[in-house]
C-alpha cells in the first residue's frame, strides 16, 4: 500500500510542480494539484479511522505539506490551511451528530474547506470578531461577515467562519460556524494581486449565510483556537515554508554541482555558503518536526493533554515556531539566491528562486510576527520555562 506521504509526493511531482509557474503567473487556483489530491483521497488524510479516514498524524501531515510546497508553495499552503480546518472539526466536532456525519461523508466526498477568520476592522487578531451570529424568528441563525482575506474561497466546498457567539457577546466570545459554500452569498470586496502566494487566491468577500444552530461547532472558539487551530497552523505553515526553503537549497546545490562539473577537482568557493545554509535548513526542519511530534503526543481528550495544550509554555513554544520558521524561510531562500547569483535571480533559469522568495515573504504576515511577539512578551514575565 502506498503511504500518504508517497501519494503527496506523487501529486507534487506530476501536478503541483508542472503547473506552479502558471499558477503563480496567473494568480489562479492550483486546480490540477487539488483534483489529484482529491483523487488520491488526501483531503481526508487527518479524518480518524473510526470516521472512515486514514487518521494521518500531524507529523505525516507536515511531511505532505512540505512535499507539496517543494514544488508549489501555494499548493502546500492551501493543503495546510484545509487540514487545519479539518483538524478543528475532528477535534471539536466529535459528539455532534452533524459534524460526525459530515466527517464520515467528507472522507469519501473529499470536500475542500476554507477559513473565514480575518475580518475587516480587526485584521489578524483572530481572537476578536465584529460580526455576530444572529438568531432569527424561524429558529435559524444568520451571519454577515466582511472577510478580508479568504484563501481559495471560490474553489472551496465549505467555509468555517468565526463570529461573535451572539448579538450581545463581547468581541472575544466567539463561535466557529460551518457553512457549505453553496448556502452562502459571497460578494467580492478585494482582489488578490500580490507579491507571492498568488495561487492561494485569497480575495476579500462579504459572506452572508443562514444556517441551523447545529452548524455551530459546539466547543468555544477560545478552546478551538488554543488547542487546535493555532498549533496546527504553526506546525503546518512551518512545514510548508520548510518545503519552499528545501527546494531553494536543492536548487543552490544543483547550481554548485553544475559549477563544479566545469572545473573538476576544484570545490567552487560558493560551496562554503551551501554548507552554511544547509545547517540553517536542518535547524528549521528539526524545529518543525519536534513541534509536530510534541503535538501528536498530546491527547486533547485527556486532562493531561489539555493541560499542556492550555499551558503558557506550550503557547510560547508554538509562537516561537511560527516566528522563527517564518524568518528562517526568508533567510534560507535569500542565501540560496546569493549562491546561485544571477542564475537564481533570473525567472527563466532552472536555478530561479524568485517565486520561492516572493512566497516566503508572506510567512511573516500570516498573523503578523509582531502581533505574535507582542502576545508572547507578557507571557515571558510569568513563564518559568519554554
Cell numbers found for residue 55: 487518521
Interface pick for ligand FAD out of 215, 221, 367, 376 (rule CB under 6 A): 367
Q: Is 374 in the site for ligand FAD (CB under 6 A)?
A: yes
Measured from the CB atom, the residue of 89 and 197 that comes closer to ligand FAD is 197
**How many CA atoms, within 13 angstroms, populate the side-chain half-sphere of residue 169?**
20
* Segment interacting with ligand FAD (CB under 6 A) among 27-35, 90-98, 144-152, 282-290: 144-152
Give the separation between CA 377 and CA 374, rounded to whole angstroms. Answer: 5
Interface pick for ligand FAD out of 368, 379, 383, 386 (rule CB under 6 A): 368
Pairing status of strand 158-164 against strand 113-116: parallel
- Which residues ranging from 196 to 215 are in contact with ligand FAD (CB under 6 A)? 197, 200, 202
Supply the DSSP string of 1-43, one letter for each residue.
Answer: ---HHHHHHHHIIIIIHHHHHHHHHHT---HHHHHHHHHTT-T
CB 304, min distance to ligand FAD, A: 31
CB 197, min distance to ligand FAD, A: 4
Q: Is 83 in the site for ligand FAD (CB under 6 A)?
A: no
Q: Is 366 in the site for ligand FAD (CB under 6 A)?
A: yes
**How many CA atoms, within 13 angstroms, populate the side-chain half-sphere of residue 11?**
30
Query: By rule CB under 6 A, what count of residues binds ligand FAD?
Result: 22
CB 270, min distance to ligand FAD, A: 31
CB 360, min distance to ligand FAD, A: 11
Q: Is 326 in the site for ligand FAD (CB under 6 A)?
A: no
Is 23 strand, coil or helix? helix
CB 106, min distance to ligand FAD, A: 18
Which residue of the chain is nearest ligand FAD when measured via CB?
A: 123
Measured from the CB atom, the residue of 188 and 257 that comes closer to ligand FAD is 188
CB 110, min distance to ligand FAD, A: 19
Measured from the CB atom, the residue of 219 and 366 that comes closer to ligand FAD is 366
Each residue of 276-294: b (16+ CB within 10 Å) or e?
ebeeebeebbebbbebbeb
Measured from the CB atom, the residue of 96 and 115 that comes closer to ligand FAD is 115
Pairing status of strand 203-211 against strand 141-150: antiparallel
Mask for 91-130, x = binds ligand FAD (CB under 6 A) = -----------------------xxxxx----xx------
Measured from the CB atom, the residue of 17 and 124 that comes closer to ligand FAD is 124
Give the separation between CA 64 and CA 86, rounded to whole angstroms. Answer: 15
CB 200, min distance to ligand FAD, A: 5
Residue 122 Cα to chain centre, angstroms: 20
Interface pick for ligand FAD out of 167, 370, 381, 384 (rule CB under 6 A): 370
CA dihedral 286, 291, 293, 297 (to 10 degrees): 160
Give the separation between CA 222 and CA 176, rounded to whole angstroms. Answer: 10
CB 196, min distance to ligand FAD, A: 8
Find, among 159, 163, 301, 298, the residue nearest to 231 by Cα: 298
Is 156 strand, coil or helix? coil
- Which residues ranging from 147 to 176 are in contact with ligand FAD (CB under 6 A)? 149-151
Q: Is 88 in the site for ligand FAD (CB under 6 A)?
A: no
Give the separation between CA 43 and CA 45, rounded to whole angstroms. Answer: 6
Interface pick for ligand FAD out of 206, 365, 379, 386 (rule CB under 6 A): 365
Q: Determine contact, residues 115/237, Cβ cutoff 8 Å.
A: no
Give the separation between CA 23 and CA 355, rounded to whole angstroms. Answer: 11
Cell numbers found for residue 159: 467555509
Give the separation between CA 66 and CA 199, rounded to whole angstroms. Answer: 16
**Which positions lie near ligand FAD, rule CB under 6 A?**
81, 114-118, 123-124, 149-151, 197, 200, 202, 362, 365-368, 370-371, 374
Amino acid at each position: 500500500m502506498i503511504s500518504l506521504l508517497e501519494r503527496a509526493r506523487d501529486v507534487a511531482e506530476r501536478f503541483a510542480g508542472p503547473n506552479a509557474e502558471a499558477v503563480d503567473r496567473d494568480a489562479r487556483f492550483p486546480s490540477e494539484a487539488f483534483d489529484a489530491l482529491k483523487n488520491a483521497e488526501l483531503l481526508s488524510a487527518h479524518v480518524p479511522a473510526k470516521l472512515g479516514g486514514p487518521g494521518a498524524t500531524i507529523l505525516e501531515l507536515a511531511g505532505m505539506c512540505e512535499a507539496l510546497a517543494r514544488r508549489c508553495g501555494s499548493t502546500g499552503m492551501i493543503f495546510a490551511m484545509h487540514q487545519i480546518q479539518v483538524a478543528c472539526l475532528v477535534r471539536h466536532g466529535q459528539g455532534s451528530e452533524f459534524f460526525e456525519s459530515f466527517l464520515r461523508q467528507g472522507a469519501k466526498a473529499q470536500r475542500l474547506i476554507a477559513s473565514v477568520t480575518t475580518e475587516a476592522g480587526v485584521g489578524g487578531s483572530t481572537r476578536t470578531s465584529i460580526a455576530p451570529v444572529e438568531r432569527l424568528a424561524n429558529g435559524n441563525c444568520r451571519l454577515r461577515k466582511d472577510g478580508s482575506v479568504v484563501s481559495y474561497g471560490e474553489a472551496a466546498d465549505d467555509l468555517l467562519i468565526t463570529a461573535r457567539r451572539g448579538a450581545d457577546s463581547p468581541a472575544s466570545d466567539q463561535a466557529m460556524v460551518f457553512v457549505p459554500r453553496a448556502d452562502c452569498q459571497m460578494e467580492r470586496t478585494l482582489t488578490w494581486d500580490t507579491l507571492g502566494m498568488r495561487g492561494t487566491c485569497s480575495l476579500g468577500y462579504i459572506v452572508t449565510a443562514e444556517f441551523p444552530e447545529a452548524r455551530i461547532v459546539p466547543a468555544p472558539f477560545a478552546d478551538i483556537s488554543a488547542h487546535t487551530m493555532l498549533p496546527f497552523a504553526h506546525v503546518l505553515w512551518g512545514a510548508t515554508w520548510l518545503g519552499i526553503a528545501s527546494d531553494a537549497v536543492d536548487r543552490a546545490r544543483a547550481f554548485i554541482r553544475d559549477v563544479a562539473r566545469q572545473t573538476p577537482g576544484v570545490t567552487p568557493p560558493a560551496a562554503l555558503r551551501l554548507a552554511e545554509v544547509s545547517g540553517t535548513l536542518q535547524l528549521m526542519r528539526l524545529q518543525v518536526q519536534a513541534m509536530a511530534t510534541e503535538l501528536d503526543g498530546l491527547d486533547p481528550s485527556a486532562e493531561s493533554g489539555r493541560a499542556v495544550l492550555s499551558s503558557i509554555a506550550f503557547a510560547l513554544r508554538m509562537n516561537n515556531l511560527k516566528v522563527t520558521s517564518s524568518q528562517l524561510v526568508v533567510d534560507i531562500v535569500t542565501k540560496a539566491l546569493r549562491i546561485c547569483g544571477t542564475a537564481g535571480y533570473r525567472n527563466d533559469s532552472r536555478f530561479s528562486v524568485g517565486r520561492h522568495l516572493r512566497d516566503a515573504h508572506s510567512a511573516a504576515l500570516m498573523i503578523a510576527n509582531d502581533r505574535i511577539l507582542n502576545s508572547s512578551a507578557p507571557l515571558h514575565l510569568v513563564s518559568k520555562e519554554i
